[in-house]
Amino acid sequence: MAQLDPSGLPWAKGSPNRYLPCYTESRRFEETGNIGDARMIELDYSLVIEATDEPDFFGFYSPDLDGFTGIGHSIEDCLYKAKWGMKEHVALLKEKGLPVPPKNPNPRVVIQNQQEPAVA
């Protein structure tokens, strides 16, 4: 049960770290008893999200997964679409008998401004 401290912020009762409770979709930390075991974003490959000149338009791709790209209307939308899109992309590669890159043990999510194409 969260309690209010003198500053008025809810902290987890009895927490020496004074962390706010974090509830992930998988709730994996409940299985292991260690909050550090919970993954916040479930991706098997790294992801780059690029902001465009339009405030509600983002592009994304995976440098680990050739041919995987997509668009979204927010960073959260891109993360959601990428999570499921990567699974579908890998399934398609397997179905077509094409090589599937190994999962990245430490995938990164990079959010950056759109890179201008190099002029040859």
- List the alpha helices (DSSP H) in 55-112: 75-95
Listed residue (76, 79, 74) closest to 42, CA to CA:
79
Residues, the chain: 120
Give the whole-angstrom CA distance, residue 57 versus residue 41: 21
Q: Which domains does the chain have, with CATH numbers?
A: 1-40 (no CATH), 47-113 (3.30.160.250)
Is the pLDDT at 15 greater than 50, yes or no? no
Provide φ and ψ at 49, rounded to 5°: -110, 130
Segment 90-102, tens digit of pLDDT: 999 999 999 999 9
The structure tokens 């927490």 sit at 15
Listed residue (87, 78, 92, 90) closest to 47, CA to CA:
78
Segment 30-39, tens digit of pLDDT: 444 555 555 5
Whole-angstrom Cα Rg for the chain: 19
- pLDDT of 37 reads 52
Is the pLDDT at 40 greater than 90, yes or no? no
Q: Which amino acid, residue 114?
A: Q
